[in-house]
């Protein structure tokens, strides 16, 4: 009996070691393919340089849809299709103007209208300024001190946060809700410090939203250098005024598409693993890190599998989501599509944190699912993927969680991301080829493990 038990344990140990060795070889082949024959970088070059900005509803967004569909068809994926979604259509109009007036001196500062904002009056808006650090500060001041003024939100991202996404989360409420709170107390406009730890002259746009029951006042982001200058001058002259002019407007919703490509599973085709990013970008630049990188990495995952002759057990699907930046209609529409068609998504991986050096994956799922994935850490650690554990999945794949799908957010190094985020300098030249390819390989390696071993079942949220 004892000998039988020892023999059984020996066989299990041998089988486990063999499986680990087989997986190590497979993952090594994935990285070799990405780093020697990868296409993600040249695809990104075309997306950014030949197509450029891709804000939802724009001609650029439609060109990106058509071209991405073409490259997936050219790669010979088993199925490529478009999924229709209606998306917001906001346009910036002529370039914004802004200056600080203190006495007779006019000091020009860089601003960018926030996505969804209304325009100023045709000749612009000029008023005294009141600086606050938070929405709470605003409430404490009240209508008497705010009415008729431009509210200047000047709370910086916390530079002590090592994870810059945590710092972003701690500051972005003033961008999203600042105009509504300011209007509630009678403000005529709102200016928000750009969401970055860098001190430069690049204003960072981004989405904002208006609440109900308050006037719609114009709102814009000011560069960090501009914010520092405005704050300093206010201390010297609290009576100074700020002028800004912007010409944006919201048009009727437009028809657009998610772009989907897949390789059919050979054993469990009804179980789907998604890899994806969002195809839309803000209108100020090429959207290279946000999120051209994630899109091209996702298509590359499927290309790598085909190039290696890998036959997945489950269906692997690359999804280019539309409208993450100012509405999330693509992510919501995709989840609705999956539910309507009774599709079973066991896992979804999103890349929307830039094309920088890979660090790991954040996991949203049950404790059993997290433990299952943590067992793969020794296979992924040789490739710098040490940060594997609880964390965010991604905005576009988030709606799939209602169906019990485990979510994985690809985590590159975060230190440089907010230098480029939503700015005019988020260009192809800011992306490093090797870092981009390592990210695609990392996503492909996790996809391989998810496909081979699956995940413990989770109960969908009702």
**Of 75, 96, 300, 324, which residue is the catalytic one?**
324
* Catalytic residue status for 324: yes
**Residue 182 CB contacts under 8 Å (≥ 6 apart), including other chains:** 138, 146, 151, 189, 190, 217, 219
Q: What percent of the chain lies above the pLDDT cut of 70?
A: 95
Q: What pLDDT, on a 0 to 100 scale, did the predictor assign at position 9?
A: 45
**Residue 328 CB contacts under 8 Å (≥ 6 apart), including other chains:** 395, 396, 399
Q: Where is 181: in which H helix or E strand?
A: helix 173-184
What size, in residues, is the chain?
Answer: 462
Buried-exposed string 390-429: b where 16+ CB fall within 10 A, e elsewhere: ebbbbbbbbbbbebbbbbbbbbbbbebbbbbbbbbbbbbe
Segment 210-224 shows an average pLDDT of 96
pLDDT level of residue 21 (50, 70, 90 thresholds): confident
pLDDT level of residue 3 (50, 70, 90 thresholds): low
Mode of pairing for the β-strands spanning 189-193 and 219-222: parallel
Q: Where is 179: in which H helix or E strand?
A: helix 173-184
Q: What is the pLDDT of residues 363-380, one digit of tens each?
A: 999 999 999 999 999 999
Structure tokens, 178? 């600042």
Answer whether 288's CB lies under 8 Å from 432's CB. no
Q: What pLDDT, on a 0 to 100 scale, did the predictor assign at position 335?
A: 98
Question: Does position 461 have pLDDT exceeding 60, yes or no?
Answer: no
Question: Does position 325 have pLDDT exceeding 70, yes or no?
Answer: yes
Mode of pairing for the β-strands spanning 125-132 and 314-321: unpaired
What count of other Cβ atoms lies within 10 Å of the Cβ of residue 140? 10
Question: Does position 17 have pLDDT exceeding 80, yes or no?
Answer: no
Question: Does position 16 have pLDDT exceeding 80, yes or no?
Answer: no
What's the rounded Cα separation, in Å, for the pair 89 and 326? 9
Q: What is the pLDDT of residues 69-116, one digit of tens each?
A: 999 999 999 999 999 999 999 999 999 999 999 999 999 999 999 999
CA 14-15-21 angle, to 5 degrees, is 90
Q: What pLDDT, on a 0 to 100 scale, did the predictor assign at position 15?
A: 47
Structure tokens, 443? 């996503």
Question: Does position 381 have pLDDT exceeding 60, yes or no?
Answer: yes
Q: What is the pLDDT of residues 383-392, one digit of tens each?
A: 999 999 998 8
DSSP E strands: which ranges in 92-156?
Answer: 97-102, 105-108, 111-113, 125-132, 150-153
Mean pLDDT (the chain) is: 95
pLDDT level of residue 462 (50, 70, 90 thresholds): very low
Q: What pLDDT, on a 0 to 100 scale, did the predictor assign at position 18?
A: 52
Q: What pLDDT, on a 0 to 100 scale, did the predictor assign at position 385?
A: 98
What's the rounded Cα separation, in Å, for the pair 197 and 166? 12
N-term to C-term CA, the chain: 49
């Amino acid at each position: 009996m004892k000998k039988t038990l020892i023999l059984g344990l020996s066989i299990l140990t041998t089988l486990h070691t063999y499986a680990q060795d087989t997986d190590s070889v497979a993952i090594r082949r994935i990285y070799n393919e990405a780093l020697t024959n990868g296409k993600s970088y040249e695809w990104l070059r075309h997306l950014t340089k030949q197509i450029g900005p891709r804000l939802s509803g724009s001609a650029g967004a439609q060109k990106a849809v058509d071209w991405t569909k073409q490259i997936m068809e050219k790669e010979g994926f088993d199925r490529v299709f478009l999924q229709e979604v209606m998306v917001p259509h906001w346009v910036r109009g002529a370039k914004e103007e802004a200056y600080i007036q203190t006495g007779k001196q006019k000091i020009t500062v860089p601003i960018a209208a926030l996505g969804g904002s209304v325009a100023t009056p045709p000749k612009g808006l000029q008023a005294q300024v009141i600086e606050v650090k938070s929405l709470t500060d605003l409430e404490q001041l009240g209508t008497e001190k705010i009415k008729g003024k431009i509210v200047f939100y000047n709370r910086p991202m916390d530079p002590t946060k090592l994870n810059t996404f945590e710092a972003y989360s701690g500051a972005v409420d003033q961008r999203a809700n600042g105009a509504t709170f300011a209007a509630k107390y009678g403000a005529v406009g709102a200016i928000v410090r750009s969401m970055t730890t860098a001190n430069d002259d690049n204003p960072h746009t981004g989405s904002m939203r208006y609440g109900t029951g308050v006037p719609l006042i114009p709102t814009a982001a000011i560069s960090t250098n501009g914010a520092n200058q405005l704050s300093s001058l206010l201390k010297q002259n609290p009576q100074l005024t700020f002028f800004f002019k912007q010409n944006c407007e919201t048009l009727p919703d437009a028809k657009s598409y998610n772009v989907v490509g897949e390789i059919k599973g050979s054993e469990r085709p009804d179980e789907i693993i998604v890899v994806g990013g969002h195809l839309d970008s803000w209108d100020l630049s090429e959207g290279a890190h946000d999120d051209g990188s994630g899109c091209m990495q996702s298509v590359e995952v499927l290309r790598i599998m085909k190039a290696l002759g890998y036959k997945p057990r489950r269906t692997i699907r690359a999804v280019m989501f539309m409208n993450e930046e100012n509405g999330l209609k693509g992510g919501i529409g995709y989840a609705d599509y999956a539910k309507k068609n009774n599709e079973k998504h066991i896992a979804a991986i999103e890349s929307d944190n830039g094309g920088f050096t890979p660090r790991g994956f954040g996991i949203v799922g049950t404790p059993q699912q997290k433990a299952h994935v943590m067992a793969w850490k020794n296979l992924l650690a040789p490739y710098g993927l040490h940060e594997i554990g609880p964390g965010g999945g991604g905005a576009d794949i988030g709606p799939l969680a209602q169906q019990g799908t485990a979510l994985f957010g690809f985590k590159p190094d975060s230190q440089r991301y907010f230098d480029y985020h939503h700015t005019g300098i988020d260009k192809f030249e800011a992306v490093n080829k090797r870092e981009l390819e390592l990210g695609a390989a990392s996503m492909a390696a996790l996809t391989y493990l998810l496909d081979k071993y699956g995940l413990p079942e989770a109960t969908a949220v009702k």
